[in-house]
Amino acid sequence: MAHYAFLDENNVVTEIIVGKNEWEDGIDWEIYYGNIRNQTCKRTSYNTIGGVHNNGGTPFRMNYAGTGYIFREDVNPPEGAFITPCPGENYTLDENTGLWVISS
């Protein structure tokens, strides 16, 4: 099973669902689920955190999405990345991991 994130008009994740595996039955499930909900839908990898796949596979979209995360197309092109909201003004986004680090 694959996981999918629904995005609002500001690319903020509003919900995560479990759905069909990508391209199963020859269908692009991001588009299919997005059309049903009339929202943008993006697949997310349950096993990807900090740009690393936990099981040694290929990381996908930097981080597993969570409610309130922001989907950014400008990070990790062409896939984009799910990024947590910035935790404070003293943080900088590490674009190699998709995680916030304390600025020095």
Q: What is the pLDDT of residues 19-29, one digit of tens each?
A: 999 878 889 99
Q: Which long-range contacts (CB under 8 A, 24 or more apart) does 97-102 make?
A: 97/50, 97/51, 97/52, 97/62, 98/50, 98/51, 98/62, 98/63, 99/50, 99/51, 99/63
Q: What is the pLDDT of residue 24?
A: 80
What average pLDDT does this structure show over 68-80?
96
What average pLDDT does this structure show over 51-80?
96
The mean pLDDT of the chain is 95
Domain borders along the chain are: 2-102
Q: Is the pTM of this model over 0.85?
A: yes
Per-residue pLDDT for 104 more than 80? no
